[in-house]
Structure formats: structure tokens, C-alpha cells
Copies of this chain bind each other. A is one copy, B any other.
Amino acid sequence: MKNHHRSVKVLRRGDLAKLTGCNLETIRYYENIGVMPEPPRSSKNYRVYDDRHVARLRFIMRARELGFTLDEVRDLLALVDGGAQTCGEVQGLANAHLASVRAKIADLKRIEHVLSSTVAQCSGDDVPECPVIDALTEVA
């Protein structure tokens, strides 16, 4: 038992990465841009994390998975940290983000439609005439 005088193992950057599945370097990046707090350092200048850092990083990663930008994540975190945050404010951010997600879906659907209807006209043969190229070339 080497840690008999310290019952809780400290988390270093690599541990945090493994626990969350986040890339090691990304953690430092998040710290640099201010979405992760600067953790305390050990005597040898190693970052020392705890459970709250794990929770915060998971929060960030989940928000990123849902397509929030890092700026939006910062806003969400500020509301969370603010203590005085209200459901209404968070709802506002989430709704704004939802609208942009829906706009992206609409864009991509339009693109999908153009692509699929164009490709459907392809003969797939060795012929030089190609409806895809035509569609791209057309001034329309």
C-alpha cells in the first residue's frame, strides 16, 4: 500500500482522458480556451483533477455531441455556474440551437434530393455523357 496516507487516488490528465473517452490533448485545449477550468497542480506541476472535472468534461462532450458550438457550450456553462440560472434562459439557448440544427437538416435534404435525382439518371456505363456533370455544369 503506497497510498496509505491518501485514500483517494488523484486523477491526472491521462486518467481524465480514459474516464471520459476524451482525447488527451483536447483536455488541454479546452483549458486553454476556457471551457475547462485550470485545475490545481501537484508539486511537480502535474494537473490534478477530481470528480467535478470529470462531470464537467462529460457535460461538454455531451453538448458537443448534440452539435452545440464551443461558444454555445461556454454560454451553457455560464448559466449552470451562475447558480441564478433559470430554466427559461437555458431553454432559449437550446431552442436557438434547435433552430440551427433544423436549418442544417433542411439544407442537407435539399442537397440529397438534387444528388439522388441526378444520380438516378446515370446509365452507369462507359459512356462520356454524364448527367451529374451536366447538372454541375448547367448555369440553371
Contact = CB atoms under 8 A, between A and B. Distances in A.
Interface in A85-140: 85-88, 90-91, 93-95, 97-98, 101-102, 104-105, 108-109, 111-112, 114-116, 118-119, 122-133, 135-137, 139
Interface residues of A, number: 53
23 contacts: A58-B139, A62-B135, A65-B111, A66-B111, A67-B108, A80-B133, A85-B133, A86-B127, A87-B122, A87-B123, A87-B126, A88-B126, A90-B122, A90-B132, A91-B132, A93-B132, A97-B115, A98-B112, A101-B108, A102-B112, A105-B105, A105-B108, A105-B112
A59 interface: yes
Given A127-B86, A130-B85, A94 B118 contact: yes
Contacts of A93: 132
Given A80-B133, A98-B115, 19 more contacts: A55-B137, A59-B136, A62-B136, A66-B114, A66-B136, A67-B111, A87-B123, A87-B124, A87-B125, A87-B128, A88-B122, A88-B125, A91-B124, A93-B132, A94-B118, A95-B119, A98-B116, A105-B105, A105-B109
